[in-house]
Amino acid sequence: MNTLAAINLPLGPLMIDIAGTELTALDRQRLCHPLVGGLILFARNYADPQQLESLCAEIHGLRQPPLPIAVDHEGGRVQRFRAGFTHVPPMRALGEWWDSEPQAALAATRAIGYLLAAELRARGVDLSFTPVLDLDYGGSEVIGNRAFHRQPQAVRELAGALIEGLHQAGMIACGKHFPGHGYVAADSHVAIPRDERSLDALAEDMAPYRGLALDGVMPAHVIYPAVDHQPAGFSARWLKILRDELAFDGVIFSDDLSMEGASVAGDIVARAEAAWAAGCDMLLVCNAPDAVGDLLARWQPAQDSQRFWRSSQRIARLLPQHPALDWTQLAENAAYRSGQQAIASLVSLTSLA
């Protein structure tokens, strides 16, 4: 499909990735496919800030409306772009600050949210999959210091401050991993975690999702057998709880369908069908180019259905609603400088601890 044919093409339900730092002919073809509605970048796609900015501009120019460009850029060990970007500390550090000086920690978190979003947007990236809303039970290696805190109230307040900063810079917020990935030790990238707790016991984990201004939510590849035998992202019951009981009307992203935690649904087409049938709007397929090709060739959701268009309209809301600051403008921006100062203070506190 050429660029002209991609004008006014609705955003489809698949978010895919690319192999390198430049687009290939195959990348362009796949990104213009009607089932594709977004792109996620990884560290392998990054060489330097200028390269990233050029890559994002080319991706945005492929079709109209432009494809939302996403990244996992939380801070700490989950920050795909490093050289040329500010190093954001792990969110647990903000939770530890909150224990002693909650108002100072909230102000710092808000400022860091702005900085994180402003830097990404200045280079053309539209959204980061953040904040992590999982509770820090201390036993999950995959979550670990990515979580703000053990207490739901602390998580809600700190995540709310981060979201305010993201929104101020024109970036959406995506909470993860619903209803909670912090209790189980197993890593859903390489295992199929099971959380045996009851729905009542899980209410504490879901508490941070109530009342936050979230634009997106990513369910966990975790099975909660007391509620459903399917992982949350494949569970119509869990997604109905999210939609109805938590009144969420934003984009529901599947977690990466190539992860081991998604294998219970079958091959890549079966996984996509299961996530779509459960109620996910956008399905991520990462680090599996052959699976992307298979999915584009064999999966056939009805593109003229009310469901397809409703999800497409939600996905369109991921695109920023106001222009980003140019990178050269950031240093003169008061909110951005506050973010730099907040990180410096946090690093100093951490070093003294």
Catalytic residues: 189, 255
Say if residue 193 is exposed, middle or buried (CB neighbours under 10 Å; 0-12, 13-18, 19+). Answer: buried
298 burial (CB, 10 Å; 0-12 / 13-18 / 19+) is exposed
Q: What beta strand segments (E) does 220-334 contain?
A: 251-252, 283-284
Q: Give the Cα separation of 52 and 125 in Å (integer).
A: 9
CB neighbourhood size of 103 (10 A): 9
- CA 66 to each of CA 118, 179, 187, 285: distance values in angstroms, whole numbers, following the listed order: 19, 31, 33, 19
Q: CB-based contacts of 267: which residues, under 8 Å, 6+ apart?
A: 294
| Structure tokens that stand for 39 in this block | 């792109």
Residue partners of 146: CB distance under 8 A and separation at least 6: 74, 76, 77, 78, 90, 91, 92, 132, 134
Nearest residue to 110 via CA among 158, 151, 75: 158
